[in-house]
Homo-oligomer: A and B are copies of this chain.
Amino acid sequence: MGAKSIAVLTSGGDAPGMNAAVRAVVRSGLSFGMKVYGVMRGYNGLLNGDLHEMSMRSVSDIIQHGGTALFTARSPEFNTPEGVQKAAATCRNLGIDGVVVIGGDGSFRGARDLTGAGVLCIGIPGTIDNDIACTDYTIGYDTALNTAMEMIDRIRDTTESHDRCSVVEVMGRRCGDIALHTGIAVGAIATLVPEIPYDFQKDIVDRMKAAQATGKKHFIVVVAEGVGKTQEITERIQKETGIESRATILGHVQRGGSPTLRDRVVASRMGYHAVELLQKSVGNRVVAMKGEQIVDFDITEALNMPRVFDENLYRISAKLSI
């Protein structure tokens, strides 16, 4: 029983650790006796037949590299019923009965549709933003966190030498997790996230003045991309506190780099779990992490789950960084 021939692709924004997941899918599949295909540039590779059979050695020496060795791209054509049918036809022609899709919510919707067209699909959450509701953890998140933190550690050196305030924008359009955790790790005096409204006077200015009263002379403010207006916030801080303030937008640096151990290990575990599901002929599931366990959910249910922001940790962070 079980899938005899599977494919793996990376879709949406790339994330460090995707290569570890691809490697785990390929090696697990081969160790279960499956044939495994690597699909190039997301769903596009299924549409235009850009995929090739993988061996144990096809994924050698990729675990330590950022980005994705399978490349990634958006695929407007796949987002049509015709596109889904065309991709399913590619799979049928090659005898591919299972596909592992590494990406975010958009990629999972594609996986659900392709399962509907007869090809068992398993989603693996891969996105640096940690913005997928069903899982505590997404591949790439730990690397992005550490990259952002190390960059702000560097900014701190110059901020401190000049008695300044640095306002730093980190990634996270809908999700404040990177900002919250980075803010704690760098000792930010204030952290602004899309999930929680802020009061400029109370949450920034008053906090800075209270800390100043205890002798603090340099400040870091972390702003999530989804809050934005980083330059405007910076100028207003300087105006209202009199402290020289500078803005930095960390940007795409946060997307790359050699994955941290956690990203490599979690991605390996998720990749293995995905293949185990296909071996049992199970499809339409998303692999997820709950605590330290790897679990899985129905894709449609997963897509409907509400994201929960850790407001308690947000409150604690305010007590520690003053």
Is A186 touching B64 in the complex (CB atoms < 8 A)?
Answer: yes
Complexed CA–CA distance, A161 and B67 (Å)? 6
If A61-B160, A261-B145 touch, whether A27 touches B322 (CB-CB below 8 Å) is: yes
Q: With an 8 A cutoff between CB atoms, is A272 at the interface?
A: yes
Q: Is the interface of A mostly helix, strand, loop or mixed?
A: helix
Interface residues of A in 96-143 (CB under 8 A from B): 136, 142
A253 to chain B minimum Cβ distance, whole angstroms, is 5
Closest CB-CB distance, A175 to chain B, in whole Å?
16
Closest residue of chain B to A28 (Cβ to Cβ) is B319
Q: A63-B186, A184-B268 are in contact. Are A161 and B290 (CB under 8 A)?
A: no
Residues of chain B within 8 A (CB-CB) of A155 are 252-253, 255-256
Q: Which of A68-76, A77-85, A195-203, A299-307 contacts B (4 or more CB under 8 A)?
A: A68-76
Q: Flag whether A57 is at the interface (Cβ < 8 A).
A: yes
| Listed residue (A145, A161, A249) with the most chain B CB atoms within 10 angstroms of its CB | A161
Residues 225-260 of chain A, each 1 if its beta carbon lies under 8 Å from chain B, else 0:
000000000000000000000101111111111101
CB distance from A222 to the nearest CB of B (A): 12
Contacts of A260 in B (CB 8 A): 146, 260
Partner of A151, one of B216, B253, B319: B253
Cα(A24)–Cα(B185), bound, Å = 11
B265 touches A184 (CB 8 A): yes
Chain B neighbourhood of A249, CB < 8 A: 249, 251
- 7 contacting pairs across A/B (C-beta < 8 A): A14-B158, A16-B157, A28-B319, A41-B163, A158-B252, A159-B252, A185-B264
Contact of A72 among B145, B161, B316 (CB under 8 A): B161
Considering the chains assembled together, what is the distance between the CA atoms of A93 and B67 in angstroms? 42
Asked, given contacts A65-B157, A252-B155, A256-B157, whether A261 binds B142 with beta carbons under 8 Å apart, the answer is yes
> Are B255 and A214 touching (Cβ within 8 A)?
no
Q: Report A171-196 CB contacts with B as 1/0, cut-off 8 Å.
A: 00000000001101111000000000
Whether A31 pairs with B158 at a CB distance below 8 angstroms is: no
List A204-224 residues whose CB lies under 8 Å from chain B: 211, 214-216
Q: CB of A66 within 8 A of chain B?
A: yes
Chain A interface residues (CB < 8 Å from chain B): 10, 13-14, 16, 20, 23-24, 27-28, 31, 41, 55-57, 60-61, 63-68, 71-73, 136, 142, 145-147, 149-151, 153-163, 166, 181-182, 184-187, 211, 214-216, 246, 248-258, 260-262, 264-265, 268-269, 271-272, 290-293, 313, 316-317, 319-322
Complex-state Cα separation, A246 to B41, whole angstroms: 19
Chain B residue with the shortest CB-CB distance to A271: B320
Residue of B nearest to A255 (CB): B158
Chain B residues with CB under 8 Å of A158's CB are 13-14, 66-67, 252, 255-256
Is A163's CB under 8 angstroms from B71's CB?
yes
Say yes or no: B27 contacts A319, CB within 8 Å: yes
Residues of B within 8 A of A65 (CB): 157
Cβ-closest 5 pairs across A and B: A291-B291, A157-B256, A66-B157, A154-B256, A67-B157
